[in-house]
Amino acid sequence: MITGKFPSLRLRRTRKYTWSRKLVQENNLSASDLIYPIFLIEGKNKKQIIKSMPNIYRYSIDKLGEIVSKLVKNKIPMVALFPSTPNSKKDQYGSEALNENNLVCRATQFIKKKFKNDIGVMCDVALDPYTSHGHDGLLKNSYVINDETNEILIKQSLIQAQMGCDVIAPSDMMDGRIGKIRKALDKNKFHDVQLLSYAVKYASNFYGPFRDAVGSKKSLKSDKKNYQMDFSNSNESLREVALDIKEGVDMVMVKPGMPYLDIIKSVKENFKIPVLAYQVSGEYSMIKQSINKNLINNDSIIESLMCFKRAGASAIVSYFALEIAKKL
């Protein structure tokens, strides 16, 4: 592959100057590659710190203009919405997911009314923010049941589309839900609503701060290994993606991010489909806490994001998105 040999070939030549390094740089990161997750909370005039995620907040609907304006100004193309549902509105069925006046629906309407198509809105489809048991689907004998859950997810997706959601993003990992949701969207004339599948979502240990943020950590009494993927497996990820492509997905997500760069690369090389990476809450908090303690420096953030581009990711969901977009 490499022709020539030392001393006539010196790879350090192009590394000597900044301008030269930029000329031969193989991958680039821009604000257009980034998606910013926003956590939502009931009430008015609230911007609530999330203790396990430094510099990340929960916003009441009336405070969304403040943060979304910054995202638009810094050319971030999309937000991802996640609700912190009050316990009083949770039940074993996740009924609040089908409430047209829930946090996600109101936030979607607010953003689309105020910002139109200056920014895209991605809505999570899963029941875990709404269930009293903290699982992504309906429980029967301590097992998440698939087909019955899919029927709820279809209804949730249609409501979100009606509210103006641009990208429906099922993160639940139920079998067959992509095809059913796509069929329902098309039947109801939402042909242009995009479908992003969390096709490869591992039963990871890196989700803890996120569960704090949405308020499901205390209610979750068991793991999610009977529906999320085993982190020992890689070939299974290709089967998951292949099924979702066949069912009509537009983009796929790999979650978590940095521990699964091999999966991102494999999915991209095998399917040539837009692949998104989610740099999850545990990854964010580890890096941010290390920076705050002067164990590593701020440049580690860019390095952590660039690795996704190097692996083949088309875009990255990251809590660092706004901080980094300001510097790009």
DSSP letter assigned to residue 142: T
The whole-number pLDDT of residue 73 equals 98
Model confidence at 108, in pLDDT bands (50, 70, 90)?
Answer: very high
- For 301-310, write each residue's pLDDT tens digit: 999 999 999 9
Active site residue 255: yes
The whole-number pLDDT of residue 218 equals 78
Determine how many CB atoms are found less than 10 A away from the CB of residue 299: 9
257 close to 177: Cβ distance less than 8 angstroms: no
What is the full DSSP assignment across 245-270? Answer: HHTT-SEEEEESSGGGHHHHHHHHHH
* 64-73 and 103-115 helices, crossing angle to 10°: 50
User: HSE-up of 8 (CA within 13 Å, CB side)?
Assistant: 4
Residue that is written with structure tokens 């978590």 in the block: 256
- For 49-82, write each residue's pLDDT tens digit: 999 999 999 999 999 999 999 999 999 999 999 9
CATH T-level fold of 31-325: TIM Barrel (3.20.20)
Model confidence at 215, in pLDDT bands (50, 70, 90)?
Answer: confident
Provide CB contacts within 8 A for 119, sequence distance 6+. 68, 71, 72, 76, 77, 78, 79, 111
Mean pLDDT of the chain: 97
Domain boundaries, the chain: 31-325
The whole-number pLDDT of residue 135 equals 95
How many residues belong to the chain?
328
The whole-number pLDDT of residue 3 equals 79
Residues β-bridged to residue 144: 139
Name the nearest CA neighbour of 282 among 302, 259, 265.
259
Over 80: is that where the pLDDT of 217 sits? no
Over 90: is that where the pLDDT of 123 sits? yes
Provide CB contacts within 8 A for 265, sequence distance 6+. 311, 312
Determine how many CB atoms are found less than 10 A away from the CB of residue 5: 7
- For 221-275, write each residue's pLDDT tens digit: 789 999 999 999 999 999 999 999 999 999 999 999 999 999 999 999 999 999 9
The whole-number pLDDT of residue 206 equals 97
Greatest alpha-carbon span in the chain: 72
Name the nearest CA neighbour of 260 among 301, 291, 232, 285.
232
Q: Left if phi > 0, otherwise alpha if psi is -120 to 50, otherwise beta: which for 262?
A: alpha
Query: Percent of the chain at pLDDT above 70?
Result: 99
The whole-number pLDDT of residue 216 equals 87
Query: Percent of the chain at pLDDT above 90?
Result: 96
User: HSE-up of 95 (CA within 13 Å, CB side)?
Assistant: 6
Active-site option among 90, 112, 180, 201:
201
138 close to 145: Cβ distance less than 8 angstroms: yes
Average pLDDT (210-218) is 89
What is the full DSSP assignment across 92-118? Answer: TT-GGGG-TTSHHHHHHHHHHHHHGGG
More confident residue, 4 or 189: 189
Its pTM stands at 0.96
Over 80: is that where the pLDDT of 4 sits? yes
Cis check for the bond before 209: say yes or no (omega within 30 of 0): no
How many angstroms separate the CA atoms of 82 and 274, rounded? 22
The whole-number pLDDT of residue 175 equals 98
Active-site option among 112, 180, 255, 309:
255
